[in-house]
Chain A
Amino acid sequence: MSRGDGKLCELMVSRLRPDKEGVDDLTKEFIAESQEGLDRMERCLTELETRPEDGELVGEIFRVVHTIKGTTGFLGFDRLEKLAHTGEHLLSALRDGKLAVTSELISGLLLLMDGLRSILTLIEETGGEGARFSDEDGALIAELSMLRGQTQEIGEARALPVKSIAEARQIAEPAAALSPTSSGSASGVSDKTLRIDVSVLNRMMNLVGELVLTRNQMLQSGLAEANFPELSRRLDSVTADLRETVMQARMQPVGNLFGKFPRMVRDLANTCGRSVRMEFSGQETGLDKSLLEAIKDPLTHAVRNAVDHGIEAPGLRVLAGKPAEGCLRLKAFHQSGSVVIEVSDDGGGIALERVLAKAVERKLVTAEQAAAMSEREALQLIFLPGFSTAAAVTTVSGRGVGMDVVRANVERVGGSVEVESRLGVGTTLRLRVPLTLAIVPSLVVRSGGQSFALPQSALVELVDLPNGDAGQLVQQIGTTEVYRLRESLLPMVWLDRLLGLEPYFAETQRSHYIAVLEAEGCRYGLVVDDLVSPEEIVVKPLSAVLREIGVFSGATVLGNGTLALILDVGATAARAGVKPVEEEMVELKTIVAQELQEISLLVFEARSRERTALPLSVVERIESVPIRQIEYAGGRAMLQYRGELLPLRDEGNVLVEMEAEHARGEDAVATVLICGAPGGERKLRFGMVVRKVLDVSAGTLLEGDKAVDGIQLALVKEKVTVVQREFEMSTKAAWREVA
């Protein structure tokens, strides 16, 4: 975490640094703009290859080159202008339909792009465009002119351009061959600046103004003043808004990073003799800029690996019964407070025996260890330093710089890497990175009289453990305690015992809590004395000596001014001896569950002695409503709920009984389930009056023919339960999904 902060500072410092000599503001702006334009051009070009008839793409590329040409002429970069001019000429022929889109043409245009880019980089570094390379430009210009010249003889002149492109490629090599290391150091002005929407900046300024005003008011009014609570509330909301706006400004769509890959994959595929199609999804997923930078290299490496090692040569693929063209998927999405980026290929997968053999050969593990390894453990071996299964060292990969670097880079920013592979089917590499580095949503708990923060991202659920009947639920295996959570055994870790804290007994304490945590494939229940509050905490690094303890990932100052240590959930598991759950078992379980059509049901009692259930997904809230508040219209019970009139269903005539109670002068409170369609359409909401809520649990719907008189039954904890089908009309589609 601390390193992340460092990087942030670095970012800021470099932005504050005075301009490099020789590059004035105007030129800098031009470079940044042009680089962006070229990024756009790159995307368009690779798309153009798949959709050659798309005139808009050509138009876009033309505009980019045209803009560069126009601006360079004005700034006086002749060399750049000359090259851009040639390109523009070629593109205008393409736009007018005089040329057809061929693979050679695309290659030529990509070379043009590289050429432009390398000149821009030169200008950025030296302030001049370095006329000494003009000869080499000449070759490229000739090449482009020739591409234009072949208007009539598209078909016959193939052989010639291919050869000359190969030559030209060598020229453009320095720019094109961006190895992971060099791309880091060569990142210039354009990588260190950030484009922010002016409206976002204005909003930030407004919020800062608001912050200042609130501070002034707080300083003037003492603690005792009546409006102090209101002021602190305002401060709270302003801070939250400001934080969100700053975060938003730092967020960049992952697509910016993905955009660089089609080109790379295209070149790589050509070099390795592969045929690869790329698919993207979730490009709009936002990620903090510094994190985006941090995962750039690991991701690049992963993509390289997938093309070089993952996807087989077309011949082999056809033999294996797969389409000749391999598919590389890049997918980004949010998952429980972090961003997941998946790189998956449908290639050969990782041969486990080769991995093991290699690991033994490289003396990373002993033969005995290797024999005892599970599939999951064996796959983890590829993350060890100095591991590469590439049969031959190619120019692309297999240089010994491998997955260990990928993992190290991702873990440095608090992320994690997982790999999944099935031989012959493909490999999926999953990078998981936090949304941001500095602020973490967490749950503050108390144990042994101290506060600890648990990151929400690792928290699965909370379970109340009453002191009295703990005996039934907590069971012993040897000296170890386990908790029976929905028919699976959860290893229990007592935080106070683990940390050697004095047991803390409060008179009022009636129960403990189990926080079910999951990290690095380990799942366990952490027993704590009390839950304090969910809080967004600002992570402060700990000194080296305390980091060495290995259980705390940092510390934070809580709202009340005291400190809390942040628990490293994964390391705690390791210290307590919790072993990762075999992933395969989990998978198997989910498959079984899917087959049995298990769904989560809220079980309640409406008619007396009868168990009824609703799919948990349709229940929004459970409310206790005083009977007075229930009103009647046209013989139907209604409830005014959050400015909405909800019709109430009363299957078990609970209301009648309640009214009777109420008439006797007793305070009657009805339990109402506020139900809504999963789609969230407000009109479909209604309330369901029940006697009491019993449980939330997974149940199996019985087959239709076993249903009695159109009542849908389900087995929940081996008891027959009626599933409410009143909902069917409104949520038919949703029902099909769950039922």
Chain B
Amino acid sequence: MSTTEIEGTVEMTDAIQEESEVISLCSFHAGEAVFGIDTRKVCEVLGERDLHRVPMAPMFIGGVVPYRGEVLTTVNFRALLSLGEYAGKSCVLVLEDDEAAERFGLVVDSVGGVVTLSLDMLEANPCTLEPRDRWLFDGAYKMRTGLMVQLDPQRLRPARLAETGLFQQRTDGGTDASTDRR
């Protein structure tokens, strides 16, 4: 479903391309919306994976998944958007953070493909955005098919998410562990 859309955008962007102001994004879906992350920050896309849940973890943690001899912590993007559990099997984007030299995963519904876009098409976040979304989103690209919201992997790092305190309360499960946490 997503591939056709993306092919469309690629053709479109070819027409208006200007060398210096082009960025390639990896697109993915969560709920209804389409999001994009700079391909340079994406190490690998893991197909449908079973996530190992971690009890008592903050609500935005999707679980852990084995990845190249490491145990990768994943962030559940749907939880960040306060969406319910995804019915199907999720995909994991492995993101790399240069500064902290730490890898982490981002759990999304499905991964589209690589989209090359012109920076001209980027609009800043609207000022009416909620604080949570303001933290997550990094502007949006106006595409013919709709908007593609850009994300900043830096801000998706589990440690940073925990620091902000915006995403602390547990929404899923309704377990008694929430009272245990602070």
Contact = CB atoms under 8 A, between A and B. Distances in A.
Interface string A528-552: 0000000000001111111011011
Interface string B58-69: 100100111001
A544 B159 contact: yes
B61 A546 contact: yes
Contact of A450 (B53, B71, B178): B53
Given A450-B55, A499-B56, A575-B180, A543 B73 contact: yes
Nearest to B160: A545
Given A540-B70, A555-B71, A546 B64 contact: yes
A318 interface: no
B104 interface: yes
B73 A565 contact: no
Nearest to B162: A545
Contact of B162 (A499, A502, A548, A562): A548
Interface in B108-149: none
Contacts of B65: 563
B158 A500 contact: no
A544 B70 CA distance: 14
Nearest to B179: A500
Contacts of B58: 545
User: Taking chain B's interface residues, is the majority helix, strand, or loop, or is none over half, making it mixed?
Assistant: mixed
Given A500-B173, A543-B104, A555-B64, A562 B54 contact: no
Given A542-B71, A544-B159, A548-B162, A563 B52 contact: yes
Nearest to A447: B55
Interface in A434-450: 448, 450
Contacts of B69: 540
A546 B71 CA distance: 11
A596 interface: no
B85 interface: no
B52 A450 contact: yes
A501 interface: yes
B102 A563 contact: no
Interface string B158-182: 1101100000000001011110100
A557 interface: yes
A500 B55 contact: yes
A562 B51 CA distance: 9
Nearest to A542: B71
A276 B146 CA distance: 83
A448 B104 CA distance: 26
Contact of B57 (A450, A497, A549, A562): A549
A548 B61 CA distance: 13
Interface string A485-529: 000000000000101111000000000000000000000000000
Contact of B176 (A500, A543, A565): A500
A543 B56 contact: no
Chain A: interface size category: 20 to 34
B71 A552 contact: no
Nearest to A495: B55
A542 B73 contact: yes
B66 A563 contact: yes
Contact of B158 (A499, A502, A545, A552): A545
A497 B56 CA distance: 11
B71 A500 contact: no
Contacts of B55: 448, 450, 499-501, 551, 565
A415 B92 CA distance: 36
A565 B162 CA distance: 21
A501 B66 contact: no
Contacts of A552: 54
A548 B178 CA distance: 14
Interface in B7-22: none
Given A500-B175, A543-B102, A549 B71 contact: no
B71 A563 contact: yes
Nearest to A554: B71
Interface in B37-89: 50, 52-58, 61, 64-66, 69-71, 73
Contacts of A499: 55-56, 177
Contact of A549 (B54, B66, B102, B175): B54
Nearest to A549: B56
B173 A543 contact: no
A541 B158 contact: no
A501 B54 CA distance: 10
A500 B64 contact: no
A549 B55 CA distance: 9
Of listed A499, A561, A575, residue having the most chain B CB within 10 A: A499
A320 B181 CA distance: 53
B57 A546 contact: yes
Nearest to B70: A540
B66 A557 contact: yes
A683 B73 CA distance: 57
A549 B173 CA distance: 17
A545 B177 contact: no
Contacts of A563: 52, 64-66, 71
A546 B180 contact: no
A675 to B, nearest CB: 46
Contacts of A501: 55, 175
B93 to A, nearest CB: 16
Contact of A540 (B54, B71, B176, B177): B71
Contacts of A548: 162
Contacts of B180: 500, 575
Contacts of A557: 66, 71
Contact of A551 (B56, B102, B173): B56
B95 to A, nearest CB: 13
B52 to A, nearest CB: 4
Contacts of B178: 500
B66 A500 contact: no
A473 B52 CA distance: 34
A562 B177 CA distance: 24
B72 to A, nearest CB: 8
The 9 closest A-B pairs by CB, nearest first: A500-B177, A500-B175, A499-B55, A543-B73, A563-B52, A545-B158, A555-B71, A540-B71, A549-B56
21 contacts: A450-B53, A497-B176, A499-B177, A500-B175, A500-B177, A500-B178, A502-B175, A543-B159, A544-B158, A545-B58, A545-B61, A545-B158, A546-B61, A546-B64, A549-B54, A552-B54, A554-B71, A555-B52, A557-B71, A563-B65, A565-B52
Given A450-B53, A540-B69, 6 more contacts: A500-B180, A544-B159, A545-B58, A545-B159, A549-B56, A555-B71
Interface of A: 448, 450, 497, 499-502, 540-546, 548-549, 551-552, 554-557, 561-565, 575
